Amino acid sequence: MKDKLDKILMQVEKPARYTGGEYNTPDMTKAANLRYCLCFTDIYEVAMSNLGIAILYDIMNAHPDIICERCFAPWTDLGQKLKQEDIPLFSLETRTPIKDFDVIGFSVPYELSYSNILYMLDLAKIPFRAVDRDENYPLIVGGGPSAANPEPIIDFFDVFFIGEGEESNIKFCEIVIKHKGDKKRILEELSGLDGVYVPSLSTIKDGVCVSKVKKSVVKDLDSASFPKKPLVPNIAIVHDRAVVELYRGCYAGCRFCQASFYYRPVRYREPERVVDIAKTLIKNTGFDEISLSSLSTGDYENIESVILQLREIAEKENVVLQMPSLRLDSFNRELIQNSRLSSLTFAPEAGTQRLRNVINKNITDDDIENSMKTAFEIGYRTVKLYFMLGLPTETDQDVMGIVDIVKRIRSIYINTTKRRDISINVSTAMFVPKPCTPFQWAEQISIDEMIRKQNMLKKELFYIKGVRYAWHGANDAVLEGMFARGSRQLSYVIESAYNKGCYFDSWSEHFKPEKWFEAIKENGIDINDFTRARDLNEVLPWDFIDYGVSKDYLIKEYKKAVEGKVTQACKFKCNACGALSLGKCRMAVEI
> Residues with Cβ < 8 Å from 384, sequence gap 6 or more?
325, 343, 344, 345, 346, 425, 427
> Residues with Cβ < 8 Å from 264, sequence gap 6 or more?
249, 250, 547, 548, 549, 577, 579, 582, 585
Q: Give me the percent of the chain exceeding a pLDDT of 90.
A: 82
Q: What is the pLDDT of residue 342?
A: 64
Beta bridge partners of 478: none
Q: pLDDT digits over 265-295, tens only?
A: 999 999 999 999 999 999 999 999 999 999 8
Q: What is the pLDDT of residue 590?
A: 39
Judged on CB neighbours under 10 Å (0-12, 13-18, 19+), 318 is exposed
Q: What are phi and psi of 23, to 5 degrees?
A: -60, 135
Cβ distance 336 to 298 under 8 Å? no
* Among the ranges given (289-303, 401-415, 447-461), the one the predictor scored with the smallest mean pLDDT: 289-303
Q: b/e per residue, 182-217, with b = 16+ CB within 10 A?
A: ebeebbebbbebbbbbbbeeeeeeeebbeeebbbbb
Q: pLDDT digits over 140-153, tens only?
A: 999 988 889 999 99
Q: What's the CA angle centered on 450, arms 435 and 536, to 5 degrees?
A: 30
Whether residue 74 is preceded by a cis peptide bond, meaning omega within 30 degrees of 0, is: no
- The domain limits of the chain are 2-214
Judged on CB neighbours under 10 Å (0-12, 13-18, 19+), 271 is middle
Cβ distance 408 to 369 under 8 Å? yes
Q: Which CATH number among 3.40.50.280, 3.30.470.20, 3.30.450.40, 3.30.360.10 corresponds to the domain 2-214?
A: 3.40.50.280
Q: Average pLDDT, stretch 446-475?
A: 96
Mean pLDDT score of the chain, rounded to an integer? Answer: 93
Cβ distance 373 to 413 under 8 Å? no
Reported as type and span, the H/E element at residue 352 is none
CA 342 to chain centre: 25
Q: pLDDT digits over 216-260, tens only?
A: 999 999 999 899 999 999 999 999 999 999 999 998 899 999 999
For residue 557, pLDDT over 60 is answered with: yes
Q: pLDDT digits over 306-335, tens only?
A: 988 999 999 999 998 887 666 665 556 666
Cβ distance 252 to 327 under 8 Å? yes
CA 72 to chain centre: 16
Name the residue among 168, 100, 196, 171 with its Cα closest to residue 139. Answer: 100
3-state secondary structure of 429: strand
* Among the ranges given (377-381, 433-437, 565-569), the one the predictor scored with the smallest mean pLDDT: 377-381
Q: What is the pLDDT of residue 379?
A: 87
Q: Please report which confidence band the pLDDT of residue 431 belongs to, taking 50, 70 and 90 as the band edges.
A: very high
Q: Please report which confidence band the pLDDT of residue 189 belongs to, taking 50, 70 and 90 as the band edges.
A: very high
Q: What gap in Å lies between CA 209 and CA 41, rounded to an integer?
A: 25
Q: Average pLDDT, stretch 413-435?
A: 96
Handedness of CA 145, 260, 196, 227 (dihedral sign): positive
Q: Using H for helix, E for strand and C for coil, what is the string for 473-523?
A: CHHHHHHHHHHHCCCCCHHHHHHHHHHCCCCCCCCCCCCCHHHHHHHHHHC
Cβ distance 177 to 65 under 8 Å? yes
Q: pLDDT digits over 341-374, tens only?
A: 567 888 899 999 999 999 999 888 888 898 899 8
Q: What gap in Å lies between CA 84 and CA 77, rounded to an integer?
A: 11
> Residues with Cβ < 8 Å from 298, sequence gap 6 or more?
326, 327, 330, 331, 332, 335
For residue 591, pLDDT over 50 is answered with: no
Q: Please report which confidence band the pLDDT of residue 584 belongs to, taking 50, 70 and 90 as the band edges.
A: confident
Quickly list DSSP for 30-85.
Answer: S--SEEEEEEESS-HHHHTT-HHHHHHHHHHHHSTTEEEEEEEPPPHHHHHHHHHT
Q: pLDDT digits over 102-143, tens only?
A: 999 999 999 999 999 999 999 999 999 999 999 999 999 999
Q: Average pLDDT, stretch 401-421?
A: 96
Beta bridge partners of 470: 427
Q: What is the pLDDT of residue 328?
A: 61
Q: What is the pLDDT of residue 302?
A: 83
Reported as type and span, the H/E element at residue 565 is none
